[in-house]
Amino acid sequence: MQHRRRGTVLDLRRENRAVVLSTLYFSRPRSRQDLSAATGLSMASVTSVVRELLDEGIVTEVGSEDSDGGRPRMLLDINPDYGYVIGVDIGETRIRINLFDLAMTERAKAEYPLNPAQHEVDEVVRDIASGVTAVLADGGIDPAAVLGVGIGVPGIVEQGPEVLVHGQTYRWDAVPLERLLRERLLREGTALPLRFENCAKTMGQAELWAGAGSGAGRGTGNTAVVLIGSGVGASLISCCSTCQGTTSSAAEWGHTTVVLEGRRCRCGSAGCLEAYVGAEAILDRYGSPAAASAQSAASAESEESRLAELIAAADSSPAADAVLAKTAEYLGVGIGSLINLFNPERVIVGGWAGLLLGGRLLPAIRESARRNSLRHLFAAASIELGQVGPEAVTYGAATLPMEDFLNGASRPPLRNRRASIGLPS
Ligand SMILES: [Zn+2]
């Protein structure tokens, strides 16, 4: 959310436009009168901004509603085909690429398996570029109609003149992912704005836009989103925006120590939460050696299926049940610390393993969190399962360029810029 500040008439126009467009975007359809009431802007200002948005084809009139005694009011909606965004999830076991229209409806997707033990940068870059080309072709979309690509990465994203990714568990040390991907896409004839963010943060953003954190309570309270896959991360959201931390690495929650001199973690340390509740660690504690030792990309699938088998076995196998009970216990310790430190209104449990585990373990996780946090703070927090599902990271990643568009921080798609200066599209 942008803060209001004094500025030029042009600044004011841009600000009004962003406020009107965002307000309509998150609650639509709406009439001009509604928008005026919701934004506090005068009818004249709203009408002027709406005229501009209609002229540019971003907004359309979709019918009318009766008003008390007055003339029917025209209802406005977003034009889903004005532009498109692409979300990428560099997961542990696969790369997902989804294409969304302006209303965030999925239009095409592609997936490439990834060996959890090997995240070769070249392979990742090649797969993302192939996926971007594939979803555009599948959706029948001109690259010039794309607003941007958001990429959720499993590591710390250092935003700067050159975006660098640090993924200690994958031995990614200051990988210039943005430059590599931009160069690769250019070689394939596509130039698109790119945005990078940590995958736990993009998942948090997805829950905020479309899931457990959205709707009436959207952005009103502090939310902690925990992402459990092979690795473990968290995203802290406060009043609509995600905490960034000093080096943009807030909430590397999976690498907080829960056991002194405990199990070895992939980060090189010992006793980290991830070494107990990450999918790989859970399978390892159960005595099922993790997929990390296997060489083929097919092992990617097996980590998910083996965790599902372990959960299914828990009804009849005391050993499986005990491993899961301990997992809930450790997760409760981690979530209890988040509650004590951050005082969230909601804790949302997501990630592919989190969603698999949560169905069975949520009551036990809540009970452990209760025992491991202060009573007053625990009482203020709900612990829920994520609602966006396994594609939360791609969805959240795609909201990054969408957010830039709504805030007026990005340019219209190339296709529309060509049209506005009279060039053929
Ligand atoms: Zn660790």
SS3 of 66, please?
A: coil
Specify whether the CB–CB gap between 352 and 278 falls below 8 A: no
Between CA 60 and CA 62 the distance in angstroms is: 6
> How does residue 119 score in pLDDT terms, banded at 50, 70 and 90?
confident
Residue 291: what pLDDT? 46
Specify whether the CB–CB gap between 377 and 110 falls below 8 A: no
How many A from CA of 230 to the centre of ligand 1? 12
Q: In this structure, which amino acid lies at residue 334?
A: G
SS3 of 12, please?
A: helix
How many A from CA of 280 to the centre of ligand 1? 13
Reply yes or no: is the peptide bond before residue 29 cis, omega within 30 of 0: yes
Characterize 285-304 residue by residue with b for buried, 16 or more Cβ atoms within 10 angstroms of its Cβ, and e for exposed: bbebebbbebeebebbebbb
How many A from CA of 275 to the centre of ligand 1? 7
Structure tokens at 88: 């990428």
Nearest alpha-carbon partner for 194 in 270, 139, 128, 241:
128
How many A from CA of 282 to the centre of ligand 1? 14
CA–CA distances in Å: residue 158 to residues 71, 165, 193, 245, 286: 53, 6, 17, 11, 36
pLDDT of residue 294 exceeding 50: no
Higher pLDDT residue, 236 or 311?
Answer: 311
Q: Which of 95-109, 145-159, 217-231, 399-413 has the lowest mean pLDDT?
A: 217-231
> How does residue 283 score in pLDDT terms, banded at 50, 70 and 90?
very high
How many A from CA of 276 to the centre of ligand 1? 10
> How does residue 216 score in pLDDT terms, banded at 50, 70 and 90?
very low
Specify whether the CB–CB gap between 153 and 177 falls below 8 A: yes
> How does residue 246 score in pLDDT terms, banded at 50, 70 and 90?
very low
pLDDT digits (tens, 9 = 90+) for 328-338: 999 999 999 99
pLDDT of residue 183 exceeding 90: yes
How many A from CA of 354 to the centre of ligand 1? 18
- Greatest Cα pair distance in the chain: 73
> How does residue 213 score in pLDDT terms, banded at 50, 70 and 90?
low
> How does residue 68 score in pLDDT terms, banded at 50, 70 and 90?
confident
Higher pLDDT residue, 375 or 230?
Answer: 375
Residue 63: what pLDDT? 87
